Structures are given as structure tokens and as C-alpha cells.
Amino acid sequence: MLTAVEQRQQELARRFEALAEPHVDELYRLAAAIAGIEDADDVTQEALTEAWRSFGQLRNEELFGRWIRTIVVNRCRNLLRSRRRSVRAISLDSVLPAAAEGNLPHEPGDFASDVAERDRLDRAFDHLALDHRAVLALHYTLDLPMPEVAAILKVPEGTAKSRLHVALSRMRAVLQEEPTA
């Protein structure tokens, strides 16, 4: 027979699992887009662990998705700040819907040019600051509306829109400087 405390813990664990499970893949994609695929597993696991530890403090379970995405972004921010790195080994397949859906070109030449274009996008993305990577990943990788992006990043919506504009402008500038394949 379980004590009241043990029953409460089991109930919390069931609720947490039910809320977290639908988000695991998107949390991984978010971590991969911001911090890099090599760190995505660790960031996702650490975020889930942190969320579990703090789950009892979550006041509104309807905001669980926003809350856990914020934890992932903060984990990525901490990781990148601690490493002070600028190189990321990630393909932006998650950002390119055609590649993510498997709609790759049928001609070998087309495939090579698509790979080269993705490499160009990766290099341009590498030039962005963390805040700009985060807004692009949240808006384009997870397809979140700007009010939700702003809430996750804990900034006004205008700031989120400004960061998105700056990120796209910087990527455009880098892509224009770099010769095409």
C-alpha cells in the first residue's frame, strides 16, 4: 500500500509524462537547431530533467509546452555561453520543409545543388547570435506564431519580430557575400 506522498509522486509522474511525451521530438529539433545536433540529446534530456524537478511549481499545465520550450532555449543558451563556440555541425534539414518531408530532387545534379545550398544556409546560420538562432528555430522549425515565440523567449512581441528581421537580414547578407555553388 502506497503512502499519500508516494501516491502524489506517482500522479505527478503520470501527469508529467502525459504532458511531456508529445513535445519530446519538437524539443529535440529545437535544441538541434539552436545548439547543434551533437548536443541536442543532452540538452533535451537536461531540459526534461529540469522540468520534472520543477513540475510541481508549474501553475497552469495548459502552458506546459511554452514552459518546457523556454527551458530548452535557456539550456541551449547556457551551453553555448559556457563553450563560447561559434562552430555548429548541424544540417538545417529541420528548417527546410521539403527535405524534412523527404521531397528531395530526383536528378543527381539537383541533389548536389540542394546539398550545397543547405551547406550555405548552415554557414549563414552559424554567423547568427544565439537570440537570433532561437527566434528562427522557434518560428520556422517549430512553426510557432510570433506571440508564442515572444512568450517563450520572455521578450515583448516587437522585440521577437525585430530579432527575426535582424536574423533574416544577417543571413541574407552572409548569403549574398558567399558565392553560390
167 and 128 in contact (C-beta within 8 Å)? yes
Give the C-alpha separation, 12 to 15, whole Å: 5
For residue 88, what pLDDT is reported? 44
Q: Are 137 and 33 in contact (CB under 8 A)?
A: yes
Give the pLDDT of residue 5.
Answer: 86
Q: Which residue has the cell 538545417?
A: 92
Q: Is 8 a residue whose pLDDT tops 90?
A: no
Output the pLDDT for position 161.
Answer: 97
- Strand, coil or helix: what is 78? helix
pLDDT value at position 86? 40
The domains found in the chain, sorted by start residue, are: 1-85 (1.10.1740.10), 91-181 (1.10.10.10)
Is the pTM value of this prediction over 0.85? no
How far apart CA 88 and CA 39 sit, in angstroms, is: 10
Q: Is the pLDDT of residue 125 over 90?
A: no
